[in-house]
Amino acid sequence: MNHQVTITIGGLPIAVHCSSREFLTMLEARYGNFLAESHIGSVRPEGVALQLDIQLIESAPSDDGRGADDDLQVSFERGHWLMQRGDFLARWDPVSGRGLVRQAPYPYAIDSVMRIIHSLVLAESGGGFLLHSASAIRNARAFLFSGVSGAGKTTIARLAPPDATLLTDEISYVRRLDEGYQAFGTPFAGELGIPGEDIAAPIGALYFLRQGPRNRIAVVDPARAVAMTLRNVLFFADDAALVEKLFAAVCDFVARVPLFELTFRPQAEVWDLII
């Protein structure tokens, strides 16, 4: 018997089918905040549903999928996206929305497949991207904190005041809606190990993080802001047409959203500067 759970991130529902009820129970626990259908419009055309069929396979003990995606390969062949890493092999048809994933029986592989599919759908729509950043909502606006590993994304999320709602400490979901850019919560947790909330808010600002001896904010000029944003966008496919759309989306984002460089000490008062 085939069992199903539907995981909705950024307004995009993906139905996951598997014969193993135990595996889907594990996914339900991992994606609990994101199992309900979102009320926010999908980035996919109306009536086009996404579905992944999971076939569980044995995995070598070293292939735990939790390391860097150094050996990840994503290519487009004969109308399908092919995704391959040591712990999974996936094929996805972007027209029908159907895909097949052969993976080891743990959630790290499906995490990666879902991130890839979301990044492809967002790039194709030209209206968003996944960003390596922490993000939180405060006073009805979302604030993003981006940077390389060690820049302080988890630290700034941990220092957030009680009235801030965490969207993620690892991967932010950025989409352009009619009223502008919004940030959505994601279940992709970093060092905090806490999934974000399944809510969204208009983006107030993006901060590029640096740790230093004192708290300071500096405006980033547009050309540098585009380069810094692109450096932190998650995109896995070597596809010229999608890269062009992604570049245009980032340029539009930079033109519409305030971007700053935030140098900070790892103390809670840094949030007094976040406006």
Most confident of 2-11, 102-111, 136-145, 172-181: 136-145
Q: Are residues 140 and 78 located together in one domain of the fold?
A: no
**Same domain for 100 and 165:** no
If asked whether residues 101 and 29 sit together in one domain, one would say: yes
Quick one: CA dihedral 184, 87, 73, 95, positive or negative? negative
User: CA torsion, points 141, 144, 145, 147, in degrees to nearest 10?
Assistant: -170
pLDDT cut 90: percent of the chain above it: 73
Answer yes or no: do 87 and 109 share one domain: yes
Q: At which of 125, 160, 191 does a domain end? A: 125
Count of structural domains, the chain: 2
Same domain, 186 and 266: yes
**Alpha-helix runs per DSSP H in 126-209:** 153-158
pTM confidence score: 0.90
Asked whether residue 259 falls in the same domain as residue 188, the answer is: yes
Does one domain contain both 144 and 70?
Answer: no
Of residues 49 and 136, the one with the higher pLDDT is 136
- Based on the fold, state whether residues 172 and 50 are members of the same structural domain: no
Percent of the chain at pLDDT above 70?
91
Query: pLDDT averaged over the chain?
Result: 89
Q: What angle do CA 172, 253, 14 make, to 5 degrees?
A: 40
Q: Write down which residue in 59, 90, 125 finishes a domain.
A: 125
| Judgement on whether residues 73 and 146 belong to the same structural domain of the protein | no
Tell me, yes or no, whether 88 and 136 share the same domain: no
Domain hosting residue 97, numbered range: 3-125
Residues 252 and 134 placed together within one structural domain of the fold = yes
Would the pLDDT of 69 be above 70? Answer: no
